[in-house]
Chain A
Amino acid sequence: MGEYLSTTFDKFELRVRRGYSYTEDGLWISMEEGRVRVGVSDYVQRTGGDVAFVELLKPGSTVERQREFGTLETAKTTVSLLSPMSGTVEEANGRLVEKPELVNSDPYGEGWLVTLAPRKLENELKTLMSADGYFELMLKKLETEHKKLEVR
């Protein structure tokens, strides 16, 4: 079993990383010894476009689940980032200041956004989807919402 679930739409390969949990909006979390790392899915970066700016809450800020913790400004739009969990921001990915394109090139790795110290982990984990669940959702979205990914 590979690290990713993937599908091809037009010429683009869209991947969903196994082992992560997802919101319907395409934010992922990975668990790391009591804290969670947060990023966006391949689908979000692909449909959003080339990221020019990333704005994130500073470390020490608190955020509630489904509230905005940042934005991605791309060449064509601004994507609001809604937090998958309630908690305190421990770290914001400083590399994204100089290299916002990391969100596009490596959304599940170096393009991570923030780490959070979660406050309601157990309860809020239940609100998230597995990789398989998000993958199915992504397939449905591709079918119904996008004739083409590249005609923007």
Chain B
Amino acid sequence: MVDLPEKKVGIISCSGEACVEGTISRVATRLVLEKLRPEETVTICLPLFLAGGKEERAFAKYYPTITVDGCDKLCAKTATERYSGKPASSIVITDLTRNPGCSRSGRRKLDSGALGWAEKAAERIAKEVDGVLDHWR
């Protein structure tokens, strides 16, 4: 089975295309992966995870995960719990933005406001990553 050569955290984003919060969740996750915590994180592709992707499921089984959901449907969190185990932390974008529901406006290309939320969410995810890794060490 998979060995554990180093401490990494898997981030599973809903990436939902139906509303802007899904896009925010996707961009926030990518910002963490590319800029904020590139060496400490890995993304788990949710569609592949759901379809039974061997590597995605193995990683999520043995490493701590953080789920990032756009809305309260919690697709990423539910899938992770079902196929791998409880995530170390869960973030819901509508909780951060305090929007009551999922908005279809601006979902394709984030405007400056939404991008701001993506950056805030990314910072929050990065802090959760640090917390998970500190706890692990």
Within 8 A of B (CB), among A55-78: none
Contacts of B39 in A (CB 8 A): 147-148
How many residues of chain A get a CB closer than 8 Å to chain B's CBs? 10
- Closest residue on chain A to residue B53 by CB atoms: A11
Q: What secondary structure prevails in chain B residues at the interface with A?
A: mixed
The answer to whether the Cβ of A13 comes within 8 Å of any Cβ in the partner chain is yes
Contacts of B59 in A (CB 8 A): 11
A151–B29 Cα gap in the complex (Å)? 12
A148–B10 Cα gap in the complex (Å)? 13
Which of B5, B8, B33, B58 is close to A151, meaning CB atoms less than 8 Å apart?
Answer: B33
The digit string for B2-23, where 1 denotes a CB below 8 A from any CB of A, is 1111001010000000000000
Which of B3, B38, B43 is close to A147, meaning CB atoms less than 8 Å apart?
Answer: B38
A8–B54 Cα gap in the complex (Å)? 13
Interface contact B55-A11, CB-CB below 8 Å: yes
Interface contact B34-A151, CB-CB below 8 Å: yes
Contacts of B3 in A (CB 8 A): 7-8
The answer to whether the Cβ of A110 comes within 8 Å of any Cβ in the partner chain is no
Interface contact B55-A12, CB-CB below 8 Å: yes
The answer to whether the Cβ of B91 comes within 8 Å of any Cβ in the partner chain is no
- Closest residue on chain A to residue B3 by CB atoms: A8
Interface contact A151-B38, CB-CB below 8 Å: yes
Which of B34, B38, B56 is close to A11, meaning CB atoms less than 8 Å apart?
Answer: B56
Interface contact B56-A148, CB-CB below 8 Å: no
Interface contact B5-A11, CB-CB below 8 Å: no
A54–B30 Cα gap in the complex (Å)? 30
The answer to whether the Cβ of B46 comes within 8 Å of any Cβ in the partner chain is no
The answer to whether the Cβ of B44 comes within 8 Å of any Cβ in the partner chain is yes
Contacts of B8 in A (CB 8 A): 10
The answer to whether the Cβ of B42 comes within 8 Å of any Cβ in the partner chain is yes
> Which residues of B does A touch, CB under 8 Å?
2-5, 8, 10, 33-34, 38-39, 42-44, 55-56, 58-59
Q: Which 10 A-B pairs have the closest CB atoms?
A: A11-B59, A10-B42, A11-B42, A11-B55, A8-B2, A151-B34, A147-B38, A148-B38, A12-B55, A8-B3
